[in-house]
């Protein structure tokens, strides 16, 4: 028995050693920004970072205490999201960038901002909603966040929204897209007024932007009219597909799906797309309208590229918004065209967006995704509200957040009655979206809106 126990211990040690070596090697070969963010995300709930002229350096809890010992109490913003996933990492980094900028200019009400973090793990679809709720409880009651910034998965954020009447803390959502989040605010304002969606990412905005782009694409490429709708089998796309089925024919497209519902839904988390790509090829489609929120699109796009399917994928693909997508697909992402916040494209629509994109790319050595500019904007929105209100009291801040009228990376930030940021193709009047095409490693080329568009490139096998 003792021998067995010794062998078991030995096995565990060997496995741990192998895992340690592998993870060390992986981390040491990853971009600097990844290693920085991962180590911080997994280890900090009470530390924060700042950006200096020489780059990002971590402020330890000791230096936070130094700030406190001067008699100036920091204002605490909580980052609540999937901190080991790219969406959460970008939330964290976008917020850190804004906090560093604000602190460099004297903070808010003469007090520095500090960030605290709690990991909801919500990028993993198997993680229950309760994990997010526990993290939310910690960030308010243990970390004492006075504003919450984050959110990614709609079911998790919907549950978190239900807790807001209890905590009475403003929640600035940077990722969840479900329109019912805003409808709750309208239906029961006194309870849910604390919720705000700070980027133009709700499903209505996404659909409006996508349809507008398809209209523009039809004008530019009038011979490519056969569309195959390929979507994950999740609620948000089931809501969006009927809208596309109604509008695309009106724009001059023909939907060629052989499925009875006129769309091909695949399970969230699928890993093999040969069936779908064979169906696309057999249907004679020239365009694949892709709707994917999960990491499954890595295999989808790789299979599309490997099989040289003669239809260009254009749609919403969250995984593809990450710069690592190119590498994940071994370059298969080339020619894919996706919808993103215009602030993530590097298109200089305004000074704020240009500086944000430049600084984010410089300090983190990667390109921002939508949660980064959302969190960046959220920090500025909350900071401005606190400055005007003269307090950090959550309920007192709400009227000031509602009256936000500022320029962010995605355009003008205004809130409607549902506390969703106003979407407008004219980025001087609201938050705008853009369609970008992967054209090289780390390179998106904007192909819509027309004011910033370059011609779309079709794959050579089309």
Partner 1 sequence: MVLPEIFVFGGLLGAVYALLSLGFSLSYGVARILNLAHGSFYMIGGYVYYVFLTLSGVNSVGSLLLAVALTFLLGIALYLGLVRPVRSAPVRVLLITLSAAIVAQEVVSLSFGDRGVGAPFIIGGISAPFGVVVENQRILAAGVSLAMFLCVWLLIRITKLGRAVRAVAQDAEAASLMGINDTRISVITLGLSGATAGLAGALLGPLTGISPDAWLNATVVAFAVVILGGLGSIPGTFLAAFLVSYSQITVAFEISSSYEIIVPLAVIAVAVLVRPKGLLGRVEE
Q: Which residues bind partner 1 (CB under 8 A)?
A: 1, 4-5, 7-8, 10-12, 14-16, 19, 22-23, 25-26, 29, 84-86, 121, 123-124, 126, 233, 259, 264-267, 270-272, 274-276, 278-279, 281-282, 295, 298-299, 302-303, 306-308, 319, 328-330
Nearer to partner 1, 156 or 298 (CB): 298
Alpha helices of 221-350 — where are they, by DSSP H? 235-251, 274-283, 297-306, 325-328
Nearer to partner 1, 6 or 406 (CB): 6
Nearer to partner 1, 247 or 268 (CB): 268
| Least separation in angstroms between CB 181 and partner 1 | 24
SS3 309: coil
Nearer to partner 1, 41 or 352 (CB): 41
Give CA–CA dist 310/281, Å, rounded. 7
| Least separation in angstroms between CB 306 and partner 1 | 5
Q: Which residues contact 424 (CB under 8 A, 6 or more apart)?
A: 411, 412, 430, 431, 432
Residue in 153, 143, 144 with CA at minimum distance from that of residue 123? 153
Nearer to partner 1, 44 or 303 (CB): 303
Terminus-to-terminus CA distance in the chain, angstroms? Answer: 66
| Least separation in angstroms between CB 40 and partner 1 | 15
Nearer to partner 1, 125 or 348 (CB): 125
| Least separation in angstroms between CB 304 and partner 1 | 11
| Least separation in angstroms between CB 295 and partner 1 | 5
Alpha helices of 307-436 — where are they, by DSSP H? 325-328, 351-364, 370-389, 394-402
| Least separation in angstroms between CB 338 and partner 1 | 17
Give CA–CA dist 365/324, Å, rounded. 12
Residue in 411, 435, 410, 441 with CA at minimum distance from that of residue 220? 435
CA 51 vs CA 42, 58, 59, 385: distances in Å:
20, 9, 10, 23
């Amino acid at each position: 028995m003792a021998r067995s126990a010794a062998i078991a211990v030995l096995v565990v040690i060997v496995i741990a050693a192998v895992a340690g070596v592998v993870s060390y090697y992986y981390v040491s070969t990853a971009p600097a920004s990844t290693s920085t963010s991962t180590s911080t995300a997994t280890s900090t709930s009470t530390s924060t970072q700042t950006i200096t002229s020489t780059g990002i350096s971590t402020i330890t809890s000791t230096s936070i205490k130094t700030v406190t010992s001067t008699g100036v109490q920091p204002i605490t913003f909580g980052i609540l999201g999937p901190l080991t996933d790219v969406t959460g990492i970008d939330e964290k980094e976008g917020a850190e960038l804004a906090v560093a900028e604000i602190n460099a200019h004297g903070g808010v009400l003469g007090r520095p901002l500090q960030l605290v973090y709690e990991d909801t793990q919500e990028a993993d679809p198997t993680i229950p909603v309760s994990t997010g709720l526990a993290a939310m409880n910690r960030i308010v009651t243990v970390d004492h966040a006075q504003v919450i910034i984050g959110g990614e998965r709609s079911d998790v954020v919907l549950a978190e929204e239900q807790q807001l009447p209890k905590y009475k803390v403003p929640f600035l959502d940077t990722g969840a897209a479900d329109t019912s989040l805003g409808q709750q605010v309208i239906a029961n304002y006194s309870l849910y007024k604390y919720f705000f969606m700070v980027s133009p990412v709700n499903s209505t905005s996404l659909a409006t932007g996508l349809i507008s782009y398809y209209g523009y694409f039809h004008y530019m490429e009038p011979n490519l009219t056969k569309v195959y709708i390929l979507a994950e089998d999740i609620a948000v796309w089931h809501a969006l597909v009927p809208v596309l089925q109604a509008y695309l024919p009106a724009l001059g497209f023909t939907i060629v799906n052989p499925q009875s519902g006129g769309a091909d839904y695949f399970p969230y988390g699928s890993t093999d797309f040969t069936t779908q790509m064979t169906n696309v090829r057999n249907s004679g489609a020239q365009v694949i309208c892709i709707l994917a929120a999960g990491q499954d699109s890595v295999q989808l796009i790789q299979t599309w590229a490997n099989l040289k399917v003669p239809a260009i994928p254009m749609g919403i693909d969250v995984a593809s918004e990450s710069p690592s997508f190119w590498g994940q697909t071994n370059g298969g992402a080339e020619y894919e065209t996706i919808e993103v916040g215009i602030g993530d494209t590097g298109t200089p629509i305004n000074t704020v967006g240009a500086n944000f994109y430049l600084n984010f790319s410089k300090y983190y050595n990667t390109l921002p995704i939508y949660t980064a500019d959302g969190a960046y904007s959220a920090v500025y929105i909350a900071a401005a509200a606190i400055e005007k209100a003269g307090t950090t009291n959550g309920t007192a801040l709400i009227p000031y957040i509602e009256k936000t009228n500022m320029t962010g990376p995605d355009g003008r930030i205004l809130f409607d009655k549902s506390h969703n940021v106003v979407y407008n193709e004219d980025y001087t009047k609201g938050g705008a979206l853009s369609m970008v095409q992967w054209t090289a490693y780390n390179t998106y080329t904007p192909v819509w809106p027309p004011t910033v568009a370059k011609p779309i490139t079709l794959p050579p096998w089309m």
